[in-house]
Amino acid sequence: MFAKLAQPFPLGATLCDQGCNFSIHCPENKEIKLVLFDHNNKKTFIELENQHLDIHYTFVAGINKGQVYGYQIKDKNETRLILDPYAQALNKVPYYIEPFTADRSWHFAKSVVVDHCFDWQGTTLPQVPLEETIIFETHVKGFTKQHPEVEEKYQGTYLGLCQPAMIKYFKEQGVTSLQLLPVTSCMSEPHLLKMDKVNYWGYNSLCFMVPEPRYATEDPVTEMKTMVRELHRHGIEVIMDIVFNHTAEGGEGGPKFHFKCLDKHYYQLDTHKNYKNHTGCGNTFDLTYQPSLNIVLDTLRHWVTNYKIDGFRFDLAATLGRNGDRFNPQSAFFKAVAQDPILRQVKLIAEPWDIGPDGYQLGYFPRGWNECNDKFRDTVKSYWLCQENNVKEFATRIMGSRDLFSAGCWPDKLPVNFVSYHDGFTLQDLVSYNQKHNHANGENNRDGHGDNRSNNQGVEGETTNYAILSRRERQKRNLMTTLIFSFGIPHILAVDALSHTQGGNNNAYCQDNAISWADWSPCKDKSDFSQWLATMLERRKTYMSPFIRAFSGRKRGHHRIHWNRSNGQPMNAEDWQGLEAFSLYLGLFDTGKELLFLVNSSKIPTRYRLPEGSKWQVVCDTSEATLGSRQVQTTYMQGAHSLTVLYRD
């Protein structure tokens, strides 16, 4: 009766008025069966009587949203229950006790049929221009878990992130775009389960289309949509950090949740049919394989269409363009995204590397992709914190890394500049620790990056020494001012606005506790820095964004750029080898608006001669803890190890 309603596409569970179509790609397990579960966990087994292109499918009448289901397969003479890779919800938080046997698979989280009807209440997409974008990277749970003005039941949830107190904070801080650490369903790695820890960051995808149930009070689907809707209502974009380079199934011997049982070719395989490991996680997803490419593209459209997501940050994105051991910027994935009428309209941000051969690809992603610029991070930290007087490199980075990202392709190729990210030291720890302190992770401090380029200013960790605290605050202002007033898209770790410390832990991926949770406890110094940062972000919008627009595209060569010594004379070749005090002058067209950067990395105050003309407005001086409003004209005394930004129109 319902045979004509059964269709191979779309894959997954698709509701209609009469019931639900179930469809799954499964070339390697011909005895697969659909399993439906009622409220008492009673099982109903249904044959998938239709096949097309290795897809098994059927239509089941009378199915409603909330139906719990899975698929039974034969695995070495045992029956195993697997998840639908196209599942859009889970019935509970996934968890198991090692080892993940076929018997335990029946007690694991199960797939749930979803109805995506939702009242968006007429909200529209913010569509923030790239040159005005301010990215705040945050964790859904961690940012509100300890917030005193968020009701306890909402702390650490999707709904917590859109409570009035949080909206007010984001607006006051100048946030345009929240970049959320993975909110797709995640499964902690076996070694964490053995230590009774969790993958707090979420970089271990279970089902690509499922919102992580840990962050919901009741219904993850509705609550995540509500979060997006309320943030959009206030003009704030939502960018998802998403992981397609590997899955939670791991390498050889890893758990079997779906892909491994359905088709081993979802993953890159070597000549011995073992899984390749270009990500450090044991199983590299293979986007040269059509079913793998399909689910990735279907997933992206799913989030944009059903959740109105504004963009994606792709973890270890070099993997997405891989063909075996080589990276190809003309790969099928990039071409498919570029022609997709839905996906080509959203922000696409790449972490342009993985750990495999040919894995570092900064600057080589196609037009329409912005890239996380670790060259900026390393150069700026080295310049301010390690006293590496790399003037030429520093100048290149603040001018938009045009050795890697041509201004002719701006703003769509603006680099995403950052100083701190979820991995690595927080801003506060960059100026408070020389060494990583990751003992809480249970790996004898062996994990985490060793190249921190940090400087504790004389004391490791907490101190009451006023001179050291003062130097730390100045260094934070140096780093943030350089980030905010460089050409590019500033990426700010949200907890940095709170001067949050992780106690020197630079790899807190498994710390679902106060180490990672944002510290909202009142503190005058922290409050002062937060206000300073908010004001600086507002001033970036006023003073810097117009320069980024003007220096982008065809008219980029019609403006004035001068690099001078502190005495106002042009820098020569020798100066570029290590001059400690220099200035950068930017002027629009022949007589337009002007910016002047006074950079002094020396240990002594330096007097700068300013370009002649009308008075300059002091946008900021990092040697000062507060942001005032004053003007100067002929000279300016710049404090040691600090920088000033001046403006006039």
Q: What is the mean pLDDT of residues 597-625?
A: 97
Identify the CA nearest to 276 among candidates 358, 334, 220, 197.
358
Q: Which residue has the tokens 């290149």?
A: 396
Q: Is the pLDDT of residue 273 over 90?
A: no
Tell me what pLDDT residue 272 has: 81
Identify the CA nearest to 378 among candidates 488, 431, 454, 432.
454
Residue 124 C-beta-side C-alpha neighbours within 13 Å: 3
Q: How many angstroms separate the Cα of 420 from the Cα of each of 137, 219, 480?
A: 10, 33, 10
CATH superfamily of 559-648: Golgi alpha-mannosidase II (2.60.40.1180)
**CB 287 within 8 Å of CB 331:** yes
113-137: per-residue pLDDT in tens? Answer: 999 999 999 999 999 999 999 999 9
Q: What is the mean pLDDT of residues 301-328?
A: 97
Same topology for domains 3-112 and 559-648, yes or no? yes
Tell me what pLDDT residue 383 has: 98
Tell me what pLDDT residue 3 has: 55
**CB 179 within 8 Å of CB 135:** yes
How many CB atoms are closer than 10 A to CB 224? 26
Tell me what pLDDT residue 616 has: 98
Backbone angles phi, psi at 73, to 5 degrees: -130, 165
CATH superfamily of 3-112: Immunoglobulins (2.60.40.10)
Tell me what pLDDT residue 359 has: 97
Look up 315 and say whether it is catalytic.
yes
| The one catalytic residue among 189, 351, 354, 429 | 351
**CB 528 within 8 Å of CB 153:** no
For the chain, the average pLDDT equals 97
How many Å apart are CA 455 and CA 385, to the nearest integer?
5
Q: How sure is the predictor about 1, in pLDDT bands with cuts at 50, 70 and 90?
A: very low
Q: Which residues contact 187 (CB under 8 A, 6 or more apart)?
A: 94, 199, 204, 206, 248, 255, 257
Q: Which two tokens stand for residue 500?
A: 């949050």
Question: Strand 311-314 vs strand 237-242: parallel, antiparallel, or unpaired?
Answer: parallel
Q: Where are the alpha helices (DSSP H) in 258-405?
A: 259-262, 290-307, 332-339, 374-385, 391-398
How many Å apart are CA 183 and CA 319, to the nearest integer?
20
Whether pTM exceeds 0.85: yes
250-266: per-residue pLDDT in tens? Answer: 999 999 999 999 999 99
Helix (H, G, I), strand (E, B) or coil at 443: coil
Q: How sure is the predictor about 389, in pLDDT bands with cuts at 50, 70 and 90?
A: confident
Phi-psi region of 316 (alpha: psi -120 to 50; beta: other; left: phi over 0): left
Q: Letter for the amino acid at 441? A: N
Tell me what pLDDT residue 642 has: 98
**CB 642 within 8 Å of CB 617:** no
Q: What is the mean pLDDT of residues 549-577?
A: 95
468-518: per-residue pLDDT in tens? Answer: 999 999 999 999 999 999 999 999 999 999 999 999 999 999 999 999 999
| The one catalytic residue among 315, 371, 374, 580 | 315
How many Å apart are CA 349 and CA 138, to the nearest integer?
16
Domain ranges of the chain: 3-112, 559-648
97-111: per-residue pLDDT in tens? Answer: 999 999 999 999 999
